[in-house]
């Protein structure tokens, strides 16, 4: 069943109880069923990202633009189902009791850090688009027949700029005019801060680190044990793991500032059935990170890897080219230019929709965080009201 279909079925079933107050003791079997469905959906979605169905001949390459878009769709679906379990038709007092009184604020703090990463990744996509434009100049210069000396020089200049842009040191940031960073939610550490959300176009500060941000999100990410494993602590942990993984994959794929020390894994217990595919993806991406040692700006995005490989080959061609050129080398270069043109086409078609999805994820995180804060505020107000009434009665 497609993701949207079983998501709709899942949310529809829970919406039947929208106006009911769910008592944990009286509806424990229903709770367990909802948790089981949620875990299965998470498992199925990540399984498709790791191993697409055999009949899918157009399966997307790992960490390609289209693959990242599917990953963001998975996040949005998981977020919707997670909120359905935790918030839909539920007594607010249930998410203010232990252990949720600790786990929910931790999740909301991770959400703030995820917003900052969305800002950084958005800037990274802009740097990728700059590389795409340089690659298009190369294609324009070299697809003419025959190739003149002037066209070869023009292509070489663009290729030099392209390879230079792809190998910037992380500490230089994604923009040479980096402005001081504005946090997504006003002052740091204020879990209930309701300051206006900043635009995704804001730059990050020179001392900001994507790797440290991911590490901070993974801190205290501990799977529930004992009785907590079958309660509401479980979906909170699952959603936290999904959030951290999605942000980690984005940072690994897309140019981001200061990725030195980016962990190749974060802890997810192997005995959890829903986590098998997520762990498999971590292994694959981590191996790519180690193998290519991508500590610079290029990242592991499939299309950027193609640009780098083709760019290095073509700059050798243009460096030694003299009209009319050797037939064999000219034909080899023509094939590489055609491949470069196809890569540019995929980037042209996919980068803007990817930016829009990152923006959608950003605003979804903002809304979800606000919804949880509203519920917590309602419970806090209700508790204060009871205390006041009790005091008045005793007086």
* Residue 95, CA distances (Å) to 108, 249, 353 in order: 13, 30, 36
b/e string for 286-309 if b means 16 or more Cβ within 10 A? bebbeeeebbbbbbbbbbbbbbbe
Whether the Cβ atoms of residue 244 and residue 266 lie closer than 8 Å to each other: yes
Q: Residue 291 has what pLDDT?
A: 81
Q: Residue 203 has what pLDDT?
A: 61
Helix (H) or strand (E) holding 86: helix 65-87
Tens of pLDDT, residue by residue, the chain (395 residues): 455 555 666 666 555 454 444 444 446 788 889 999 999 999 999 999 999 877 665 678 999 999 999 999 999 999 999 999 999 878 888 888 899 999 999 999 999 999 999 999 999 999 999 999 999 999 999 998 899 999 999 999 999 999 999 886 444 444 433 333 333 443 333 334 443 344 454 566 778 899 999 999 999 899 999 888 888 999 999 999 999 999 999 999 999 888 887 877 778 899 999 999 999 999 999 988 888 765 555 789 999 999 999 999 999 999 998 888 888 999 999 999 999 999 999 999 999 999 999 999 999 999 999 999 999 888 766 554 444 454 444 45
Whether the Cβ atoms of residue 129 and residue 351 lie closer than 8 Å to each other: yes
Whether the Cβ atoms of residue 113 and residue 216 lie closer than 8 Å to each other: yes
Q: Name the residue among 250, 19, 243 with its Cα closest to residue 128.
A: 250
Q: Which residues contact 156 (CB under 8 A, 6 or more apart)?
A: 315, 318, 319
Q: Name the residue among 120, 312, 290, 127 with its Cα closest to residue 208.
A: 120
Whether the Cβ atoms of residue 122 and residue 352 lie closer than 8 Å to each other: no
Whether the Cβ atoms of residue 256 and residue 248 lie closer than 8 Å to each other: no
Q: Residue 176 has what pLDDT?
A: 37
Q: Report helix, strand or coil for 255.
A: coil
Domains in the chain: boundaries: 3-394
Q: Residue 145 has what pLDDT?
A: 86
Q: Name the residue among 239, 191, 237 with its Cα closest to residue 373.
A: 191
Q: Residue 75 has what pLDDT?
A: 98
φ, ψ for residue 297, nearest 5 deg:
-80, -20
Q: Residue 195 has what pLDDT?
A: 39
Q: Residue 202 has what pLDDT?
A: 54
């Amino acid at each position: 069943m497609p993701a949207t279909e079983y998501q709709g079925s899942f949310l529809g079933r829970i919406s039947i109880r929208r106006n009911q107050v769910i008592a944990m003791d009286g509806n424990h079997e229903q709770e367990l069923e909802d948790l089981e469905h949620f875990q299965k959906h998470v498992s199925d979605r990540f399984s498709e990202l790791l191993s697409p169905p055999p009949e899918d001949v157009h399966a997307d390459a790992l960490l390609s633009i289209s693959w990242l878009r599917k990953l963001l769709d998975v996040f949005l679906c998981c977020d919707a189902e997670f909120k359905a379990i935790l918030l839909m038709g539920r007594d607010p007092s249930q998410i203010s009791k232990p252990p949720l009184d600790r786990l929910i604020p931790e999740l909301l703090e991770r959400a703030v850090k995820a917003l900052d990463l969305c800002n950084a990744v958005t800037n990274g996509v802009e740097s990728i688009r700059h590389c795409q434009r340089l690659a298009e100049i190369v294609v324009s210069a070299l697809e003419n027949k025959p190739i003149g000396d002037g066209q070869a020089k023009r292509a070489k200049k663009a290729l030099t700029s392209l390879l230079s842009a792809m190998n910037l040191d992380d500490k230089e940031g994604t923009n040479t005019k980096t402005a001081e960073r504005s946090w997504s939610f006003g002052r740091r550490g204020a879990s209930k801060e309701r300051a206006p959300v900043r635009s995704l176009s804001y730059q990050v500060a020179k001392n900001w680190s994507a790797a440290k941000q991911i590490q901070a999100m993974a801190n205290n990410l501990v799977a529930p044990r004992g009785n907590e494993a079958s309660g509401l602590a479980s979906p909170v942990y699952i959603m936290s793991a999904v959030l951290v993984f999605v942000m980690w994959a984005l940072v690994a794929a897309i140019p981001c500032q200061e990725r030195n020390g980016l962990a190749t894994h974060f802890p997810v217990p192997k005995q959890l059935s829903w986590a098998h595919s997520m762990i498999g993806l971590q292994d694959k991406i981590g191996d790519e990170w180690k193998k290519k040692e991508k500590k610079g700006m290029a990242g592991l995005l499939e299309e950027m890897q193609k640009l780098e490989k083709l760019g290095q080959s073509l700059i050798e061609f243009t460096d030694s080219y003299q009209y009319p050129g050797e037939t064999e080398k000219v034909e080899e270069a023509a094939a590489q230019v055609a491949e470069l043109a196809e890569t540019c086409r995929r980037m042209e078609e996919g980068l803007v929709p990817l930016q829009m999805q990152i923006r959608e994820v950003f605003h979804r995180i903002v809304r979800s965080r606000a919804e949880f804060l509203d519920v917590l505020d309602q419970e806090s107000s209700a508790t204060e009201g009871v205390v006041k009434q009790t005091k008045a009665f005793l007086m």
